[in-house]
Amino acid sequence: MRVPFLGRLSIHEYLAITLSFSVLALASILKFVILFLPKPVINWFYKWSRRLFIQYRSEEYPSEEKRVSDQVLKAKDFEDLCRIYGYIHEEHVVLTKDGYLLGLHRLPGKRGEKRDKPGTSTGKPVVYLHHGLLMNSEVWICLTNPERSLAFVLAEHGYDVWLGNNRGNKYSKKSIHHGPNTTKFWDYSIDDFAWHDIPDSINHILQVTKAPQLNYIGFSQGTAQAFAALSIHPQLNEKVNVFIALAPAMSPPGLAAPIVDTLMKASPTFLFLIFGRKSILSSATFWQSILYPPIFASVIDKSLSWLFNWRSHNISPYQKIAAYAHLFSFASVKSVVHWFQIMRNAAFQMYDDDVLSPVVVTSVSSYRPVRFPTRNIVTPIVLLWGDSDSLVDINTMLAQLPSHTIAKCLHTYEHLDILWGRNVHIDVIPEVLNYLKLYNTEEQAVGDVNSRDEMQNGYLAN
């Protein structure tokens, strides 16, 4: 049924809009109120939710996993997470050409290995890891055991490991031109990641390490940023030895929630009306502060199921509790709008500044947003994707990539499983190590997949 006077949306879509505004209004009010609440009151809400959870849901988990999960959950930042497993990290800052300060993390050595001259070349082959949307570098190391952390495993296999961060997130919330409370600070999309963040981070890493090339591993949007950057910077292809894309993102088919999917594809810029023009979902940290972690994890699970139809059965309950605490980081509303533009047009395009659809008077459109020329990428590409991942349309993706692209399917894997699944040390990490060895020279090739067992035994011994 249509509402004639009010436009093209149906009644249930107007109801969805009304409900969305109501929820956001409630969240904003609660967020404002909590600023004036004393800490004992906030702690009371936390304890009340904990008591409620224990009363209605009592579950048993392995004591060792619970112990480590609690440590990961309570870790405040990248440094705390490294300390849990005995790694010594470095922090670097990159100034992009348009004035953003990006935080880079580095794992230059194996567990417990100290360096006399931090910030210098190690002589090792270099691997650069980049996170997905609404994330930061912590997602690579917030695991309940180190053998399932790709970053730690790479360090143990003799790689110089770097982990990037997008502008606006927890480690990159600063610019020399604009403060984070201004709309100009958040006026960026995937285009800006491709033009500046990725190439400037890579250049900094190569400058510090003195390496001629590095190996790039991205997750989700971290792959999209590399696809875009490599396609518009021909010279960048000479600096990337191989690009391994985990849960690759380029032209997602859409969301599992029909109402949200239809509404956002119909008008992606409607997000600006709902969330404004700064950061998106900034209230997530508020909810995390007052909810008992298992309840917060359950809320995230339900949200992921509704939006993407992900069941997350491959991720253990305590891994969820540990990792979901480090899942969210700030991102611009504009970057999310950009994704819905891509979904609507089923094309990996640059941000469309023309928010009004052009009038089509013939069968031939007079306007088309500029697309990223991804078929021009020269760097070897490896796609590792899950056949249960609703955001990956592998055939559409392969049609937009060069013919030298390799695609490896991971059976029963969803999106986040590739980061935090129970068996990533069996199904995912060995694949990454093998492709790194395949595309590195004999002099650069390091480690062996079988040394995973030695690594695990070493951690257990300590």
Report the catalytic residues.
Answer: 220, 389, 415
Q: Alpha carbon of 279 to those of 195, 254, 272, 275: distances in Å?
A: 20, 22, 10, 8
At residue 40, φ and ψ (nearest 5 deg) are -55, -35
Please count the helices (runs of H) and the strands (runs of E) in the chain. 19, 8
Cβ–Cβ < 8 Å for 179, 101: no
Cβ–Cβ < 8 Å for 172, 99: no
Cβ–Cβ < 8 Å for 372, 228: yes
Cα separation, 108 vs 139, in Å, equals: 18
Task: Give the H or E element holding residue 409.
Answer: strand 406-410
Inter-helix orientation angle 333-345/258-266, to 10°: 90
Task: Give the H or E element holding residue 381.
Answer: strand 381-386
398 HSE (CA, 13 A, CB side): 14
Alpha-carbon Rg for the chain, nearest whole angstrom, is: 22
DSSP string, 206-253: HHHH--S-EEEEEETHHHHHHHHHHHH-GGGGGGEEEEEEES--SS--
Q: What angle do CA 292, 298, 301 make, to 5 degrees?
A: 145
Neighbours of 26 (CB within 10 A): 11
Q: Alpha carbon of 255 to those of 252, 285, 309, 313, 339: distances in Å?
A: 8, 24, 8, 19, 11
Alpha-carbon dihedral 129, 447, 118, 135, rounded to 10 degrees:
20
Q: What angle do CA 52, 84, 418 make, to 5 degrees?
A: 75
Q: Two tokens at 306? A: 């509704």
At residue 253, φ and ψ (nearest 5 deg) are -65, -25
Amino acid at 335: S
Strand order from edge to edge, sheet including 381-386: 90-95, 101-107, 160-163, 126-130, 214-219, 240-246, 381-386, 406-410
